[in-house]
């Protein structure tokens, strides 16, 4: 099966999706890491993110390798391991300029994401998390989840992910609020798509959120059998 997890920055999508994939024995795809990888490559090549044509060409030429093992996440770009590099604040500051405003980059990465999903369907299934998974990347997903949390909770979670003093409070708020505003211009991740279930994680632990989504997944998996019987 395909489980699509959408939601705003800091809502816990990555940790939740990895946990669900691990528990259910599925593959896992962090689509945000793919956009970060393209952003890293654009910056490394000295390309202005505002130069949409050149950035799109870089995205098409990029040899991108991303692990779908939920317990061992790696990202490679043109033979270089950038797993840690894509989490650098300079990438966070620029990723929306590449991902939100460049529709050609989005089209290229959506094509790659759909190929990964199709391959995963042959071996059991996948949990995919990002911005517009249920509406654009995998509208055929058996389970669609919009994972939300209030702004303060999202900022606290993002801060906990970063090294002490890595970003200022202003930079952190910019990463959360500004990125959501930018990305919402091209990805409808703040509104539940048809058939999607909204899960508010503000007052839930990670394990509790994973429990909820795993239960929903089992119900979704059983639904076709119920209809057949």
CATH of 2-228, one of 3.30.420.340, 3.40.50.150, 2.60.40.10, 3.40.50.300: 3.40.50.300
Domain-by-domain residue ranges, the chain? 2-228
C-alpha 21/C-alpha 28 separation (Å) is 6
What residues contact residue 13 under an 8 Å CB cut-off, 6+ apart? 5, 6, 7, 32, 129, 130, 147
To the question of whether residue 96 is assigned a binding role by annotation, the answer is no
**pLDDT confidence tier of residue 178, bands split at 50, 70 and 90:** low
Residues 6+ apart with CB under 8 A from 73: 18, 28, 30, 33, 67, 83
pLDDT level of residue 229 (50, 70, 90 thresholds): very low
Higher pLDDT, 223 or 141: 141
Cβ atoms 183, 31 nearer than 8 A: no
Is there a binding annotation on residue 15? yes
Residue 40 has pLDDT above 70, yes or no: yes
d(CA 64, CA 208): 33
79 is in an annotated binding site: no
- Whether residue 13 is annotated as binding a ligand: the answer is yes
- Residue 199 CA, chain-centre distance (Å), reads 16
In tens, the pLDDT along 143-163 reads 999 999 888 888 777 666 665
Q: Is 165 annotated as a binding residue?
A: no
**Residue 193 assigned as binding residue:** no
**In 3D, which of 155, 117, 158, 153 has the Cα closest to residue 138?**
117
Tell me: is residue 224 an annotated ligand-binding position: no
pLDDT bracket for residue 180 (50, 70, 90): low
Kindly tell me the burial class for residue 1, based on how many C-beta atoms sit within 10 Å of its own C-beta (0-12, 13-18, 19 or more). Answer: middle
Distance (Å, whole) CA 88 – CA 5: 24
């Amino acid at each position: 099966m395909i489980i699509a997890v959408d939601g705003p920055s800091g809502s816990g999508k990555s940790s939740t999706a990895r946990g669900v994939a691990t528990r259910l024995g599925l593959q896992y795809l962090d689509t945000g890491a793919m956009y970060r990888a393209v952003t890293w490559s654009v910056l490394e090549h000295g390309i202005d993110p505002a130069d949409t044509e050149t950035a799109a060409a870089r995205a098409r030429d990029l040899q991108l390798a991303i692990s779908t093992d939920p317990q061992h996440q790696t990202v490679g770009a043109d033979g270089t391991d950038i797993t840690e590099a894509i989490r650098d604040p300079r990438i966070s500051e620029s990723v929306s300029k590449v991902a939100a405003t460049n529709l050609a980059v989005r089209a290229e990465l959506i094509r790659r994401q759909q190929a990964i999903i199709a391959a995963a369907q042959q071996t059991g299934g996948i949990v995919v998390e990002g911005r517009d998974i249920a509406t654009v990347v995998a509208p055929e997903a058996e389970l669609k989840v919009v994972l939300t949390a209030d702004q303060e909770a999202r900022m606290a979670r993002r801060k906990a992910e970063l090294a002490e003093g890595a970003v200022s409070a202003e930079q952190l708020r910019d990463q959360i609020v500004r990125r959501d505003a930018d990305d919402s211009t091209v990805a409808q991740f703040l509104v539940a798509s048809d058939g999607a279930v909204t899960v508010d994680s503000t007052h839930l632990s990670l394990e509790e959120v994973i429990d909820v989504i795993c239960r929903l997944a089992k119900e979704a998996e059983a639904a076709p059998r119920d209809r057949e019987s």
